[in-house]
Structure 1
Amino acid sequence: MSTASRIYVASSWRNPFQPTVVQRLRVEGHEVYDFRNPFNGVPGFSWSDIDPDWESWSAARYRELIMTHPIAARGFVSDLRGMQWANTCVLVLPCGRSAHLEAGWFTGQGKRCIILTRDGEEPELMALLATDICISLDEVISALASPTARSPRAGLVRKFAQ
């Protein structure tokens, strides 16, 4: 491995592969922000910490609580600080809207974004915004060891953007 990266792993609480990714990246010598167990020692954010009945909220109730509840604020700030600290995002599919917003933030900041997909995942055109698309954890490790990202869109843009 050339240089250790500071990695933000974006995924879902429901993705059983997420802890394996975090652990493997750490074993490989990378520093990793884990939204389930943030650096601050406070357990990761969960909507059920605000209200066990959160799935029945109206849009108005959601907006009110995301903008005013201290648990939501704490979770947001913790994850945002993790994103600002990291130089690389690894988006572990399958995952939801929040993880995709996080990955989009990384690409918008000009930071490296690696998508880890596997068989059975729905294709997504805008994955071309990522710097790497990997189909195994071993590929992620290899990509991180590479000094430059393999942008999946570079050749496509050169070929068709003329």
Structure 2
Amino acid sequence: MMARIYVASSWRNPHQPNVEVLRAHGHEVYDFRNPFNGVKGFAWSEIDPDWQTWSAARYRELLTTHPIAARGFLSDLRGMQWADTCVLVLPCGRSAHLEAGWFCGQGKRTIILTRDGEEPELMALLATDICISVDEVLNVVRPYGRFSQAAE
């Protein structure tokens, strides 16, 4: 059985698109850059090109009230609920770590894809697997699916 995978990472991560190989191996993949709903992935600049100058109060206000933020959040949350596996592709930001933490808390498989040069994190032990290559990720998800091995 193939996995339903949520890829958590960053727009700034040049390695994130490399996980497309998961699709090539038959897995279903939610990609925040190209969500299932056909709407391009969320970016703060859609709300305000000067988003980096916001005060904390302005950030909170727009996060909780702006329809573009709501659309992006719901799209990603639905992808998370749909998936049985999270692949956290490092380096990434706070949102991706929150997403991976949500997967851990839900008891869903959480894989961290790291590489040389990443700062070690103790709480990575919450993840079910820590991989250092996409090939390792493929080996980890190969026997995993929506149902346990015992049920197959």
Q: Same fold (TM over 0.5)?
A: yes
Q: Distance in 2 between matches of 1:4 and 1:46?
A: 30
Partner of 2:32: 35
Instruction: After TM superposition, give the deviation of residue 147 of structure 1 in Å.
Output: 4.3
Q: Distance in 1 between matches of 2:24 and 2:12?
A: 23
Partner of 2:8: 10
Deviations 1:78-119 (A, max 9, x none): 000000000000000000000000000000000000000000
Q: Structure 1 length normalisation: TM-score?
A: 0.88
Structure 2 segments unaligned to the other structure (5+ residues):
146-152
Deviations 1:101-154 (A, max 9, x none): 000000000000000000000000000000000001100000011349xxxxxx
Within-5 A mapping of 1:133-144: 133-144=130-141
Partner of 1:114: 111
- Whichever of the two has the greater Rg, that structure is 1
Q: Distance in 2 between matches of 1:59 and 1:146?
A: 45
Q: Distance in 2 between matches of 1:75 and 1:36?
A: 11
- In the TM superposition, structure 1's runs of 4+ consecutive aligned residues that sit over 4 Å from their partners are none
Within-5 A mapping of 1:52-71: 52-71=49-68
Q: Distance in 2 between matches of 1:129 and 1:93?
A: 15
Q: Distance in 1 between matches of 2:103 and 2:144?
A: 18
Q: Distance in 2 between matches of 1:147 and 1:49?
A: 37
Partner of 2:148: none
Q: Distance in 1 between matches of 2:104 and 2:89?
A: 15
Q: Distance in 2 between matches of 1:27 and 1:18?
A: 15
Q: What amino acid maps onto 1:5 in structure 2? A: A
Percent identity of equivalent pairs:
80
Q: Distance in 2 between matches of 1:97 and 1:28?
A: 29
- Root mean square deviation, CA, Å: 1.0
> What is the count of residue pairs matched by the alignment?
145
